[in-house]
Amino acid sequence: MTKILIAGATGLVGGYVLQQALADTRVTRVVAPTRQPLPPHPKLFNPISDFASMPDDDRWWAVDGVVCTIGTTRAKAGSAEAFRAVDLDLQLAVARHARAHGAKRFALTSSMGADARSHFLYLRTKGQLEEALKGLNWPSLTIVRPGAILGERAEVRTNERILGAVLRTLAPLLPKAARGNPADQIAHVLLEAAITAPNGVRLVKADQIGRDRS
């Protein structure tokens, strides 16, 4: 009897989380706010929200666990500020709303190398989000730090495609942490965390993702 909220269900990782949550008999309801509508499903509640004016008092925030896979890139967002508005402020707002409505578990897609003191905007922002989430006193907080995310995207990201191809070719020679992580395996870790993670803060590193499946 678990209700799960997925933030970022139209994305690569979020799409797998959605697919797996809808197929999971432990999950009775999936709340997935998105900017564009998702295909209907009997278990799915899909509020359409532009996120800039996200309602914080709606009852649908009242779930058991949250999976957050929102993210953008500086290039796509257009500026460092716009990137931080999505990768820090928006994700924190989701976490605050769900926590205020009684959610107990939060599972975040962060990144390998996340560090609030990093010189790099991306890693610094991810690290700052991790720190801010710890400050919200989640009974259970799981931070997943994948390496490069492997999977097919509708959108063309040339650099990621090249990196993915290189990583697949070199995989046998690379340490596990540097091989990249398939999006469906990341999704599996996130969903399990949102359903069953014990209390406390848990960090899942790139080389731990998919371990239970290999």
Ligand X SMILES: NC(=O)c1ccc[n+]([C@@H]2O[C@H](COP(=O)([O-])OP(=O)(O)OC[C@H]3O[C@@H](n4cnc5c(N)ncnc54)[C@H](OP(=O)(O)O)[C@@H]3O)[C@@H](O)[C@H]2O)c1
Contact residues toward ligand X (CB under 6 A) are 8, 10-14, 35-36, 51, 69-72, 86, 90, 109, 111, 146, 148-149, 160
What CA–CA distances, in Å, run from 139 to 70, 81, 120, 128, 129?
Answer: 21, 30, 30, 19, 17
CB 1, min distance to ligand X, A: 26
CB 176, min distance to ligand X, A: 15
Nearer CB in complex with ligand X: 197/206 = 206
CB 83, min distance to ligand X, A: 10
Nearer CB in complex with ligand X: 77/136 = 77
* 45, 50, 55, 58 alpha-carbon torsion, rounded to 10°: -10
CB 129, min distance to ligand X, A: 9
Q: Which helix (H) or strand (E) holds 137?
A: none
Nearer CB in complex with ligand X: 37/198 = 37
In three-state secondary structure terms, 44 is: strand
Nearer CB in complex with ligand X: 121/201 = 121
CB 39, min distance to ligand X, A: 14
What CA–CA distances, in Å, run from 171 to 144, 165, 189, 213?
Answer: 21, 10, 21, 17
Nearer CB in complex with ligand X: 99/145 = 145
Angle of the 12-23 helix axis to the 183-196 helix axis, nearest 10: 50
- 110, HSE (Cβ side, Cα atoms, 13 Å): 30
CB 89, min distance to ligand X, A: 10
- Count CB atoms within 10 A of the CB of residue 172: 7
- Report how far residue 73's alpha carbon sits from residue 82's, in angstroms, rounded to the nearest whole number: 9
Nearer CB in complex with ligand X: 162/198 = 162
- Report how far residue 186's alpha carbon sits from residue 199's, in angstroms, rounded to the nearest whole number: 20
Q: Which distant-in-sequence residues (6+ apart) come within 8 Å of 44 by Cβ?
A: 18, 22, 30, 32, 38
